[in-house]
Every structure is written in structure tokens, then in C-alpha cells.
Structure 1
Amino acid sequence: MVSTRTTPYQAMIALLKKARIQKKLSQRAVAKLCGKSQSYVTQYERCETRLDIIDYYGLARLLDVTDEQIIKTLHRYYDEHPIDKILNDQKKTN
């Protein structure tokens, strides 16, 4: 399993956090809207816990993050970091 501290994951979480802040929503407000605790939001924003794709996409929809923004974030990361380097870096941290 990929660590929650990998840069591509951090980039995807940063996208959610940026959207939350732009919408002027507190962590508590997001937690209430998605039926979770504030600590849930705090933990994923700090990359202390890993969101699965279903939870990530649900939060993205809640925060009006578009599919295009998600894909652009991934493309930007992988354009700057070749996949072979990422895989080698992950092997070193595991």
C-alpha cells in the first residue's frame, strides 16, 4: 500500500483543503456536511489517515472540486515526477 505521506497523495489532499478554504468552510462545517467528526477532516488534511477513492470523490463533490481539477492535479504531479522515480522513492520509504 502507498504511504499517506507520498507527494501525489499530498497534492490531492491539498486540492481538497484549498477548496474548503476558498469556500470559507471550517473543518467542523465539512465534517457536519459529510456526517463525520472534525477529527476525521483534520486527520485527512494532515495526511494522518488515507481516504479511499469513494470518500475522496464524495468530499471533492461536496467542495465543488471538478473532475478536471482532480485530473489536472495528477497530471501536473506526474509531469514533474516520472513514475519510475516515484516507485523507487516509495520502495525506499517502505
Structure 2
Amino acid sequence: MASVYSEEYQRVITALKKARKERGITQVQLAEALGRPQSFIAKIESGERRLDVVEFVHLARLVGLEPGDILQGIR
């Protein structure tokens, strides 16, 4: 299993974080949309917490990305 420090996982997180920032969405706003505290997003973006697949899909769509497009980059 790949860790949160693997190159592939970091590409996923970088894509999500970049899209969030480009769309002017704060960590607080994204967390509220998910019904989670801001620290949830901060921990994901810093690598302190690993995303599960369902969380990944929700986050990707909330920042305007298609999950499948992101996954194409880790083949």
C-alpha cells in the first residue's frame, strides 16, 4: 500500500489543493461543505491524514474536478 508520502498520493493531494485554491475555496468552506471541521482539510493537505476513496470523490467534485481525471495521473 502506498503511503501518504508516495509520489502518486502527493500528486492527488496537490491536484485537490491546487483546484481548491484556484477556485478561491478556503479550507473552512470546503470543510463546511463536507460537514467536517477545518482541521480535517488541513490534515489531509499536510499528509497527516489519509483520504479514503469516498472522501476523495466528494473532495474532488467539491473543488470542480472529476475523480477519474485525477486518477489518470497516477497510472
TM-score when normalising by structure 2? 0.89
**Which residue does the alignment assign to 1:36?**
36
**Which residue does the alignment assign to 1:65?**
65
Structure 1: give runs of 5+ residues left out of the alignment.
Answer: 76-94
User: Cα RMSD (Å) of the superposition?
Assistant: 1.4
Higher Cα Rg: structure 1 or 2? 1
Higher-helix-fraction structure: 1
Is 1:46 the counterpart of 2:46? The answer is yes
Q: Which amino acid aligns with 1:56?
A: F
The alignment-based identity, stated in percent, is 33
Kept in 1, the 8 Å contact 2:56–2:67? The answer is no
Runs of 4+ in 1 over 3 A off after TM superposition: none
Structure 2: give runs of 5+ residues left out of the alignment.
Answer: none
